[in-house]
Amino acid sequence: MAPVTFKALMVEEADQGRFTRRIVERSTTDLPPGDVLVRVAYSSINYKDVLSATGNRGVTRRYPHTPGIDAAGVVEESDSERFHPGDAVIVTSYDLGMNTAGGFGQFIRVPAEWVVPLPAGLTLRESMIYGTAGFTAALSILALVENGLTPAAGEVLVSGATGGVGGLAVAMLSNIGFRVAAINGHVDQSGYLGQLGAGRIIAPEEAIDGSGRALLKAVWAGSVDSVGGEVLATTLKSTAPYGVVTCCGNAASAELPINVYPFILRGVRLIGIDSQNCPMPLRRKAWEMIAGAWKVKQAEAMVEEVPLAGLDEAIEKMVARRRKGRTIINLQQ
């Protein structure tokens, strides 16, 4: 294929520590080597994209850079026997959008090992309503159910529920019959959380115990946590014997101020979730669950769609915690 010119968001370091963002024209010849060239239809904004878009060198070492850890689109060129021009595909995580030009551009070029065929049951647009956030929620729920949690065990607590991972976890869990309690955000979103399927709303201050006790009343059968810190510590101390808690994020804090008592006196299991290096068989299983039994009927209530031209403002809203749910980017507008 002859080189194609396309649009992408570019993050540049203007001077020491100050970063700017603008839409630029690039060529497919600027993209890194790889087996599969994808024309991106949709991307989405995840927490990690905001870090990359604001100059966080823990996520992106080198600038100028195009973030976007999620992309869904159509194969334009392929050196891999597994993919052919016209195939609809999803690419999330690995190094996409971190140090490899990501889904905030109209084309990406990636290794074939990073590419997942779009599962039957999802459109490209729908797949990005989930994106890495929904994939991580699905990995978390797989961990709960594969460790024996059933709806009969009791209520499941979801933190970060106004965000992407948490919101999709609330919706998926409630759709498959779990009773869900959701921790509200810093702005009241109880109506929205109820719409997603939360049966009980927990105020942020209620989610953090100030007593300093090693164990609290056992309330939760399990939990999906994406905020870490005092919230996760309080959740673990409040989890019923043999309950299961997943941990994927640090939106509040990377610290975990807790001792061993929930683990040695109640057999509570804390399971780490890492979407980035998730092996391909588990990756495909999670996407199949998302496209099938766990497909969320509340998805449209969670999503705001913006064109590439609206991406900069959408990133600012996420930095300022002025949004809820998921933001997807229509790259072809």
Ligand X SMILES: NC(=O)c1ccc[n+]([C@@H]2O[C@H](COP(=O)([O-])OP(=O)(O)OC[C@H]3O[C@@H](n4cnc5c(N)ncnc54)[C@H](OP(=O)(O)O)[C@@H]3O)[C@@H](O)[C@H]2O)c1
Instruction: Tell me if 148 sits within 8 A of 188, measured CB to CB.
Output: no
The residues that touch ligand X, with contacts defined as CB under 6 A, are: 46-48, 132-133, 136, 160-166, 185-186, 226-227, 248-252, 273-276, 318, 321
**What's the CA gap between 300 and 175, in Å, rounded?**
15
Q: Please, what is the minimum distance in Å from the beta carbon of residue 264 to ligand X? A: 26
Q: Please, what is the minimum distance in Å from the beta carbon of residue 255 to ligand X? A: 12
Of residues 80 and 276, the one with the C-beta less far from ligand X: 276
Closest to 66 measured CA to CA, from 110, 115, 26: 26
- Residue 220: both structure tokens together: 């939760």
Q: Please, what is the minimum distance in Å from the beta carbon of residue 210 to ligand X? A: 15
Q: Please, what is the minimum distance in Å from the beta carbon of residue 211 to ligand X? A: 19
Q: Please, what is the minimum distance in Å from the beta carbon of residue 327 to ligand X? A: 9
- Residue type at 199? G
Of residues 37 and 45, the one with the C-beta less far from ligand X: 45
Of residues 136 and 234, the one with the C-beta less far from ligand X: 136
Number of residues written out for the chain: 333
**What's the CA gap between 32 and 109, in Å, rounded?**
6
Q: Please, what is the minimum distance in Å from the beta carbon of residue 5 to ligand X? A: 31
Cα separation values, 201 from 27, 150, 170, 227, 236, Å: 48, 21, 11, 16, 18
Instruction: Tell me if 101 sits within 8 A of 36, measured CB to CB.
Output: no
On the 0-12 / 13-18 / 19+ scale of CB atoms within 10 A, 274 is: exposed
Of residues 28 and 185, the one with the C-beta less far from ligand X: 185
Q: Please, what is the minimum distance in Å from the beta carbon of residue 289 to ligand X? A: 16
Of residues 73 and 163, the one with the C-beta less far from ligand X: 163
Of residues 10 and 161, the one with the C-beta less far from ligand X: 161
Q: Please, what is the minimum distance in Å from the beta carbon of residue 96 to ligand X? A: 13
Of residues 25 and 255, the one with the C-beta less far from ligand X: 255
Cα separation values, 261 from 144, 153, 218, 237, 265, Å: 21, 21, 13, 8, 5
Q: Please, what is the minimum distance in Å from the beta carbon of residue 84 to ligand X? A: 30
Of residues 126 and 225, the one with the C-beta less far from ligand X: 225
Determine the residue with CB nearest ligand X. Answer: 163
Of residues 28 and 184, the one with the C-beta less far from ligand X: 184
